[in-house]
């Protein structure tokens, strides 16, 4: 989705001219994304509506960027090739506490494609929750592949394990119940440095910098690390929002921009993901 399309909801009327970035408030950004329940409601757009925005800085050439409305997001979801087992897990998770933590189907599809493009065989996921993204990755791993799946909540991890079993991928998943940083440090101590192809981070946001440093030791050169929630409901772009978690994510994003150990691409999908390739 477009960089700050997080600010748009069904309450907004679309103008015939592009909307500007500065018009977005943090409250509007928060209302934009209450996960699938609100996102999949239809939004009526007039025939002359313009669901796109442009940057205020004219040096970007007034490039029009699509802004995701509920109707457009419905269309995106309709074009996701979601396996039946993932749909079943998503629907079960939707009724659970904390269901907003589950990645969206379009995010999971992108993660799985990155794994396939890389030809990855050894992967890590921090923050499994009920296993939607880890199952998407495990499904595309080769039979000899391995995914280390770290989760601190035992209850949600049991749901994930049951779906690994149902999908026939349990043999590919090494489940680690505990704190992600502790698991990573143990893996490093066990001599597993530079032996992983891909990692996905969706755990405690204030720990992102530590996770990243540890994963840089575990992922090989040319390998990929993906960090979720880098837009944080649009709060990172609002200078008036300075709670500890938002500041931490904002600082992490700033550090990544200056980190020459990786090449990066911030992708406005879901709540924002940054894809990092180790140099």
Summarize pLDDT for 163-179 with one digit per residue, the tens.
999 999 999 999 999 99
How is the chain split among helix, strand and coil, in percent rounded to 5?
45, 20, 35
Residues whose CB is less than 8 angstroms from the CB of residue 53 and which lie 6 or more positions away in sequence, other chains included? 2, 4, 5, 18, 19, 20, 21, 64, 65, 67
pLDDT > 80? residue 194: yes
In a domain, 53, yes or no: no
Domain enclosing residue 190, as ranges: 62-278
Predicted confidence at residue 44, as pLDDT, reads 38
Q: Measured between alpha carbons, how far is 66 from 82 in angstroms, rounded to an integer?
A: 23
Task: Say what the pLDDT of residue 49 is.
Answer: 55
> Looking at the domain assignment, is residue 272 inside a domain?
yes
6 compared with 113, residue with greater pLDDT: 113
Predicted pLDDT of residue 55: 86
Q: How confident is the model at residue 1 (pLDDT cuts 50, 70, 90)?
A: very low
- The 10s digit of each residue's pLDDT in 29-68 is 333 434 433 333 333 344 445 578 888 888 888 888 888 9
What confidence tier does 160 reach under pLDDT thresholds 50, 70, 90? very high
C-alpha–C-alpha distance, residues 220 and 148, integer Å: 15
Mean per-residue pLDDT over the chain, rounded:
86
Task: Say which residue, 133 or 23, is predicted with more confidence.
Answer: 133
69 in a domain, yes or no?
A: yes
Q: What is the pLDDT of residue 58?
A: 87
Integer Rg of the chain from CA: 19
H/E element holding 124?
strand 122-126
CB neighbours (10 Å) of residue 55?
18
Cα distance between residue 227 and residue 231, in whole Å:
11
CA neighbours within 13 Å on the CB side: how many for 107? 28
For residue 151, being part of any structural domain is answered with yes
More confident residue, 44 or 121: 121
CATH number, domain at 259? 3.40.50.150
- pTM of the predicted protein model: 0.83
Nearest to 16 by CA among 44, 51, 63: 51
Helix, strand or coil, per DSSP, at residue 76 = helix
CA distances (Å), 75 to each of 19, 35, 68, 86, 94, in order? Answer: 21, 15, 10, 19, 20
DSSP strand pairing (52-54 vs 19-20): parallel
As for how many domains the chain has, the answer is 1
* SS3 of residue 193 by DSSP: coil
Of the given ranges (46-50, 157-161, 214-218), which has the lowest mean pLDDT?
A: 46-50
Query: Does residue 237 lie within any of the structural domains?
Result: yes
- Does the pLDDT of residue 9 top 90, yes or no? no
Looking at residue 94, its pLDDT comes to: 96
Strand ranges (E), 131-258: 146-151, 173-177, 196-201, 219-228
Query: Rounded to whole angstroms, how far apart are CA atoms 115 and 136?
Result: 10
pLDDT average, residue stretch 4-22: 35
In a domain, 262, yes or no: yes
Q: What percent of the chain shows pLDDT beyond 90?
A: 76
Task: With respect to residue 224, please indicate whether it lies within any of the assigned structural domains.
Answer: yes
Asked whether residue 11 is domain-assigned, the answer is no
Q: What is the pLDDT of residue 62?
A: 87
């Amino acid at each position: 989705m477009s960089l700050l399309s997080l600010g748009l909801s069904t309450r907004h009327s679309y103008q015939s001219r592009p909307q500007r970035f500065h018009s977005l408030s943090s409250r509007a950004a928060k209302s934009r994304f209450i996960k699938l329940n609100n996102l999949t409601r239809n939004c009526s757009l007039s025939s002359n509506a313009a669901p796109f925005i442009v940057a205020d800085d004219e040096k970007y050439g007034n490039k029009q960027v699509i802004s995701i409305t509920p109707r457009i997001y419905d269309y995106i979801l309709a074009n996701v090739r979601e396996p039946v087992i993932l749909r079943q897990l998503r629907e079960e998770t939707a009724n659970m506490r904390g269901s907003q933590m589950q990645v969206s189907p379009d995010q999971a599809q992108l993660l799985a494609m990155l794994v396939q493009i890389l030809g990855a065989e050894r992967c890590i996921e921090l923050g499994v929750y009920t296993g939607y993204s880890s199952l998407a990755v495990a499904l595309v791993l080769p039979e000899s592949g391995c995914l280390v799946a770290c989760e601190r909540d035992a209850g949600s991890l049991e749901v994930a394990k049951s779906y690994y079993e149902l999908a026939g991928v349990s043999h590919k998943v090494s489940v680690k119940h505990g704190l992600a940083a502790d698991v990573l440090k143990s893996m490093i101590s066990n001599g597993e440095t530079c032996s992983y192809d891909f990692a996905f981070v969706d755990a405690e946001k204030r720990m992102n910098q530590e996770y990243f440093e540890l994963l840089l030791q575990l992922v090989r050169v040319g390998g990929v690390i993906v960090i979720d929630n880098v837009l944080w409901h649009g709060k990172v772009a609002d200078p008036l929002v300075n709670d500890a978690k938002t500041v931490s994510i904002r600082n992490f994003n700033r550090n990544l921009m200056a980190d020459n150990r990786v090449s990066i691409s911030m992708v406005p999908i879901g709540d924002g993901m940054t894809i990092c390739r180790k140099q």
